[in-house]
Amino acid sequence: MSKYSAAASAVLALSLLAVPGLTQEEEAAPVTAEGTQTVDPAALPSGEACDYPVDLLWHREPTEGDAPWAMGVSVKNKSSGQQVPGLSEPHFRLLLDGVQASTDAPFKVNQSARAFLSAETPEGEAPRTGVDPINYDVYFAVDMTASMGGEIQVEGAKAATKLNFALRVVRALVLPAKQGASALFDDQDRVYISGFTSRLETGFMDSTTTDRNKILEALNDMNSVETTGDSAALYASVMHNLTNIQARATEYSSSEKKREAVLIVLTDSFNGMDLEGRRSLRTCDKNDPLTDQVQQAIFDTQKATDGNLKVYFLGIGSESEPKYYSQSEPPNRRCRITTVEKETLDGRSLRVVGNPEITRGGYYANDNPRALMSFVQGQFEALKSAYEVQYKAPEGVSRPRSFQVIVSVGEKVCTDLEVLASNIIPTARAKGVDTTASEVAVFLAGLLITLLFVPRSLSNLVTLGGGGGSAPARKKKKRKRRK
């Protein structure tokens, strides 16, 4: 394998554009404080002062047994309004009454749509839900080479060609399963579908559209075409779609339009053609310089769209290492593309062009096309799902009055704090009264003392006859008259 050239090195060095979402570099720099300590809430930013605002949605403390305590936490990307996906235990720190909860078991962080549903809704407000505020333009590039005509068996479904299953994935992502339902990409999202054999197959749609009838028509037309060709114009198809995306780059880079481009490639093949789709490649090593160029093109498109691009490479099949081919080592000169692609996916190259640090999507392979669909769905559902955190209360803290969560995304740190109101002396809330809350509290305390102690004191004085009180008068005896 080549060293993926200076272009690839430059891409990796510059891969962390100011793009929405969580990158691997940001994952590598969590808050690392250990032990118990007191944190001044005023020392950390919160709310809109943060690039990634944190919202403590709810907290739950079990009253019996050793069940873990729990907390719901929203972590948004302020620039997109989406949830930040992919956070884990090292990114969270919890403090109860200023004492840090242990990060040992049962400390656990999961992203779940239920985290919003568990939040109590204040009176007069709409229920909190996970909403993805971004509209998408989704570009599909579907492999239509001869190998995609081979039948596969998927549990729960009749045997069908790989192309047919690939088109089912597309349909499930953009068309609702039944009336009234909503697909992952709804009717506010635009779709463009193209394919590739040994050349580009772009006659199914003219441009992106929200018209679901046109999308369904394109899928039906593609399903009726006979698969053909041994050499896949895979990279040429990727370049074709990236060119279309760059032509609309100003729409995606606009902060007001809130629109993002998504490219989803479904294939079971090695790339077997040059970037123009004109000349076939024979040996595996011929792909290395083309892989570098495609990676650079993805990087350039990220830059043009201000990072509002996601690219997914979905491999229908599995990885292996047949003779002359390695998933990690440079290819042998005897490695023939048309021979080895019958036995394995080119994970070595697809992992490079699908590098999530650059694509903000990734590469995923599976024999079951439904798993490929779930991979994409899971990533987009994460953009509107908050976090559930399970933990154990710090030693000695049983009924905390304050709950604080601190979240780090890269070098950015944000916090949210909830302090419970006292349940002993309620805060006075009277309109048109100048008396302060502290003055009311002192008054109520004095009144409480009076009610508790003064009646008892008066009773004691009467009983003891002291303190200036008068004794009860004696009854006079009546004298008998003499007769």
* pLDDT (tens place) for every residue of the chain, 483 residues total: 444 444 444 433 433 333 344 443 344 344 443 343 444 666 899 999 999 999 999 999 988 778 899 999 999 999 899 999 999 999 999 999 999 999 999 999 999 988 988 777 777 766 677 788 999 999 999 999 999 999 999 988 999 999 999 999 999 999 987 766 678 999 999 999 999 999 999 999 999 999 999 999 999 999 999 999 999 999 999 999 999 999 999 999 998 889 999 999 999 999 999 999 999 999 999 999 999 999 999 999 999 999 999 999 999 999 999 999 999 999 999 999 999 999 999 999 999 999 999 999 999 999 999 999 999 999 999 999 999 999 999 998 989 999 999 999 999 999 999 999 865 444 333 333 344 455 445 445 555 555 555 455 444 434 434 444 444 444 444 444 444
What are the E-state strand segments in 113-152? 135-143, 151-152
pTM above 0.95, yes or no: no
- 297 touches 242 (CB < 8 A): yes
249: left (phi over 0), alpha (psi -120 to 50) or beta: alpha
Q: Give 449's contacts (C-beta < 8 A, 6+ positions apart).
A: none
**pLDDT at residue number 130:** 78
**pLDDT at residue number 23:** 43
- CA pair distance 212, 99, nearest whole angstrom: 54
Residue 197's CB: how many other CB atoms inside 10 A?
A: 23
Structure tokens at 71: 């907390």
- CA pair distance 246, 62, nearest whole angstrom: 53
Q: Give 61's contacts (C-beta < 8 A, 6+ positions apart).
A: 69, 393, 400
Helix axes 212-223, 162-174, angle to 10 degrees: 180
**pLDDT at residue number 129:** 73
**pLDDT at residue number 123:** 73
